[in-house]
Amino acid sequence: MNKPVRELDTVVLLRDLPDAGLRAGDMGAIVHLHSPDVFEVEFVARSGHTVALRTLSISDVRAARDEDFATPPRRG
């Protein structure tokens, strides 16, 4: 990411995190900054409940763009 991240920025995951049930392309929101390069990202279901809250680094995500969409729901 080229610009500094801020709390509540929407980001897109760049790699799978199978232990959290997350896949590359999932969108989340930065909810806490530990440092400019390390932060907590919350991933939520369409219903609004939290799916995962993970500490990630700047290399794990990119800024969301207008053409990004929420990934389709996972099936079985």
Three-state secondary structure string covering the chain? CCCCCCCCCEEEECCCEHHHCECCCCEEEEEEEEECCEEEEEEECCCCCEEEEEEEEHHHEEECCCCCCCCCCCCC
| Residue 42 to residue 49: CA distance in whole angstroms | 10
pTM: 0.85
Q: Which amino acid is at 44?
A: V
pLDDT digits (tens, 9 = 90+) for 7-62: 999 999 999 999 999 999 999 999 999 999 999 999 998 899 999 999 999 999 99
The pLDDT-based confidence of 4 (bands split at 50, 70, 90) is confident
